[in-house]
Chains A and B, each alone.
Chain A
Amino acid sequence: RKEVEQDPGPFNVPEGATVAFNCTYSNSASQSFFWYRQDCRKEPKLLMSVYSSGNEDGRFTAQLNRASQYISLLIRDSKLSDSATYLCVVTGTASKLTFGTGTRL
């Protein structure tokens, strides 16, 4: 079983739609959680951190469910510029990031 699993997609949605991505992780001792965005042939860039209390940044909302070991990302009012691959990232000790394979939007 992969440490971090994501649906690879692609998700094809019309502009204005709401789209949700989920991610599951296997290590219950994981400490930090993030969503990164990666544009084609570019480096990953931090989109947002994920907290148990949930956090929102404009059209983006991230949630963490530690009991079920999954992380979600909700994008409202999708725009063409949101087209990218979204990487679920989990951190354990030594700040070593474990990446999901990404979900393409």
Chain B
Amino acid sequence: NAGVTQTPKFQVLKTGQSMTLQCAQDMNHNSMYWYRQDPGMGLRLIYYSASEGTTDKGEVPNGYNVSRLNKREFSLRLESAAPSQTSVYFCASIRDRVVGETQYFGPGTRLLVL
């Protein structure tokens, strides 16, 4: 039982390049989330997927797209990377969206955009 896994762990991009961050969970959780973490800002929600086949914007969705490929996988795509997207990206999942349930996080992807 690996929990939440993310690939890659590190990535360096040039401005304008595209890439997809992968996330998978093996806990049969229904909802999945993408966050970014910047110094002094805390974690901010980019997009989330309440269930397979649905996605919704979070607090900072601009410049990103997501795909809930199946119940296990939720990917985040940067179509044209910008230096402002340099950050640490965390994927998280939760079994059910009910009061008291907590999210489990992946180990993160560190992205540097030059």
Is B53 part of the contact surface with A, judged by Cβ < 8 Å?
A: no
Q: CB-defined interface of A35-46 with B at 8 Å, one 1/0 digit per residue? A: 000000111111
Q: Which of B14-22, B43-51, B65-73, B78-86 contacts A (4 or more CB under 8 A)?
A: B43-51
Q: How many A residues are at the interface, by size bracket? A: 20 to 34
Contact of B41 among A41, A49, A94, A101 (CB under 8 A): A101
Contact of A49 among B40, B42, B97, B102 (CB under 8 A): B102
Is A81 part of the contact surface with B, judged by Cβ < 8 Å?
A: no
List the count of A-B residue pairs having beta carbons below 8 Å apart.
52
Q: How far is the CA of A101 from the CA of B39 in the complex (A)?
A: 8
Q: CB-defined interface of A13-55 with B at 8 Å, one 1/0 digit per residue? A: 0000000000000000001101000000111111001000000
Question: Is there an interface contact between A43 and B90, defined as CB atoms closer than 8 Å?
Answer: yes
Contact of B102 among A31, A46, A87, A94 (CB under 8 A): A46
Question: Is there an interface contact between A97 and B105, defined as CB atoms closer than 8 Å?
Answer: no
Q: How far is the CA of A96 from the CA of B56 in the complex (A)?
A: 11
Is B61 part of the contact surface with A, judged by Cβ < 8 Å?
A: no
Q: How far is the CA of A91 from the CA of B106 in the complex (A)?
A: 19
Q: How far is the CA of A37 from the CA of B70 in the complex (A)?
A: 30
Q: CB-defined interface of A53-86 with B at 8 Å, one 1/0 digit per residue? A: 0000000000000000000000000000000000
Question: Is there an interface contact between B50 and A44, defined as CB atoms closer than 8 Å?
Answer: no
Given contacts A91-B99, A99-B43, 6 further A-B contacts (CB under 8 A): A31-B99, A32-B101, A44-B105, A46-B104, A96-B48, A97-B45
Chain B contact residues, CB within 8 Å of chain A? 31, 33, 40-45, 48, 50, 56, 58, 90, 94, 97-108
